Structure 1
Amino acid sequence: MPHLITPTGAQQQAAEATMGLGVPGYAHPLVAPMEWAELTRPGAPLHWTVLNVANGPGARPDPHCLEASGKLRNAGARVLGHLDLAYGARSFGELVSDAHRYLDWYQVDGFYADRAPTEREALPEVRRISATLRALLPDGHLVFGHGTHPYPGYAESADQLVTFSGPWSDYRWSQVAEWTADYPPEKFCHLVHGVPLGHLEEALRIARWQGAATIWFTDRTDKHRTVDPFEALPGYWDEIVSRIGRGVSE
């Protein structure tokens, strides 16, 4: 079994009660029409999905992305614009410009700040970015895509933190940072690829034990980092929707 810091029973129950899916970004709607259509399925436990037109909003409005995101929003789903922080390498002006285009062209409901820094030293600039995004969209949902546990101070600047993004071979033995116990499960998200169907329930239990209410698990792999494993539906899409919808037994 994974070596975990065990949360309280109340935390596990809260994670189960609120568990849903966070879609880190499908391929373009012309390439993955079925994937985008499935997200509008009635009853799908979707917390949010990321719209990534061209590693950002692109140079001009894309009618296919506009249609896909519009259908999601009409179905009550939350659509987040993809912003690449490049671990702190991108300029403040570039990020704000991208955010404006997402709002003007696609009327997004928030932002997914991918490749967010994790170090304490980068926190002031990330706070500046967060405050600006909040000013642009006061009721928007903001996710920091760290991919690992960052310095704890980041938790106060976003609605959610992605504290794990990687393969099942690492996730099944992962540990949770102690400071996460100070926050509810709604604060955290886990993105895991290469999860076999036979281990899906175990993966869901790990997410609950670690206190992550938003997840995206897929059996697809990155093929030695040559493809994005999150661009298509998991092979067990129906199964994971069903299991999250009815909860996961102990």
Structure 2
Amino acid sequence: MRPLIRMVVPAYFHPGVAPDDWRRLASARTRPRLVVLNLADGPGSVRDAQFAAVVDPLVAAGVPVAGYLDTAYGERAKDALLRDAARYRRWYGVDRVFLDRVRADRAGLPHYAGAVTALRDDGAVEVTMNPGVYPDLGYVELADLVVTFEGPWRSYRRLVVPSWAHCLPAQRFCHLVYGAPRLARWRARRLAARRHVGFVTTTAVDGANPWRRLPAPWR
């Protein structure tokens, strides 16, 4: 099986700091599966003209862009998520959402079911959830795409995938791997393919925000 190359790109870098990364992302021949827009763990309190200038070409070209929403493991109220999603739509023309820091246990499902339903009713055309681990199956049923691994390469090598995940389309799953040396990138893609994962993104960057630069394959 050929390793898959389409990626979910967490774009957690400001255009004023990394303008070349945004230009490369816009001009790439391989379209990302999803670009995640994150200004300040959300849309921020005011529209950022620099972000608008780099997001507009992506949206115009049909690249799927999602607004980052921190759910604080179920602590953020539904109304706060709706407010931030509306800001992404109004300020940047982004109508997809990326829910981060999502719970993975069954007890959290009612909260997330209500939030996802409200977001879709309010205009979200696609919902991605990031528990960073394989969650209760109910979360996968709620979302269009689920990040079932986010962590360092050393942990990714030891990842165990539950059997139920192989019964669903691979395109429902994404893995985000950081701290991956250059020679590990193709190995990570081969592992993802064997693990029945449709999208895998690797970066050599590590630290508190490993997505502060565009992943190396794009650069």
Q: TM-score, length-normalised on structure 2?
A: 0.94
The whole-number CA distance in structure 2 between the counterparts of 1:49 and 1:89 is 25
The whole-number CA distance in structure 1 between the counterparts of 2:147 and 2:216 is 23
Letter in 2 for 1:196: P
Contact 1:26–1:36 at 8 Å: present in 2 too?
A: no
The whole-number CA distance in structure 2 between the counterparts of 1:125 and 1:187 is 21
1:32 to 2:13 alignment: no
The whole-number CA distance in structure 2 between the counterparts of 1:234 and 1:194 is 11
The structural deviation recorded for 1:236 is 4.5
The whole-number CA distance in structure 2 between the counterparts of 1:168 and 1:129 is 32
Counterparts in 2 of 1:76-115, with a 5 A limit?
76-115=62-101
- Give unmatched runs, 5+ long, in structure 1: 1-11, 239-250
Counterparts in 2 of 1:137-156, with a 5 A limit?
137=123, 140-156=125-141
- The alignment partner of 2:201 has SS state of strand
- The alignment partner of 1:201 has SS state of helix
Counterparts in 2 of 1:155-194, with a 5 A limit?
155-194=140-179
Contact 2:201–2:215 at 8 Å: present in 1 too?
A: no
Contact 1:26–1:35 at 8 Å: present in 2 too?
A: no
- Give unmatched runs, 5+ long, in structure 2: none
Aligned residue in 1 for 2:194: 209
The whole-number CA distance in structure 2 between the counterparts of 1:219 and 1:232 is 10
1:237 to 2:188 alignment: no
Range moving further from structure 2, 100-109 or 116-125: 100-109
Structure 1 stretches (4+) deviating beyond 2 angstroms?
Answer: 233-238
The whole-number CA distance in structure 2 between the counterparts of 1:109 and 1:207 is 28
> RMSD of the TM alignment (CA)?
1.6
Cα 1:233–1:48 change in 2 (3 A) is same
Range moving further from structure 2, 97-106 or 161-170: 97-106
The structural deviation recorded for 1:173 is 1.4
- The alignment partner of 1:133 has SS state of helix
Aligned residue in 2 for 1:200: 185
Q: Residue 73 of structure 1 is aligned with which of 59, 67, 89?
A: 59
Give the total of aligned pairs.
219
Q: TM-score, length-normalised on structure 1?
A: 0.83
Contact 1:102–1:108 at 8 Å: present in 2 too?
A: yes
Contact 2:203–2:210 at 8 Å: present in 1 too?
A: yes
Letter in 2 for 1:181: H
Cα shift readout 1:26-45 (whole Å, capped 9, x = no counterpart): 31111111111111124223
The whole-number CA distance in structure 2 between the counterparts of 1:235 and 1:30 is 19
Cα shift readout 1:99-128 (whole Å, capped 9, x = no counterpart): 111111111130000001111011011011
The whole-number CA distance in structure 2 between the counterparts of 1:109 and 1:37 is 22
Contact 2:9–2:214 at 8 Å: present in 1 too?
A: no
Q: Residue 125 of structure 1 is aligned with which of 96, 102, 111?
A: 111
Cα shift readout 1:186-223 (whole Å, capped 9, x = no counterpart): 1000000011111211111011011111221011111x
Aligned residue in 2 for 1:241: none
Letter in 2 for 1:228: N
Contact 1:25–1:51 at 8 Å: present in 2 too?
A: yes
Cα shift readout 1:170-196 (whole Å, capped 9, x = no counterpart): 001111111111211110000000111
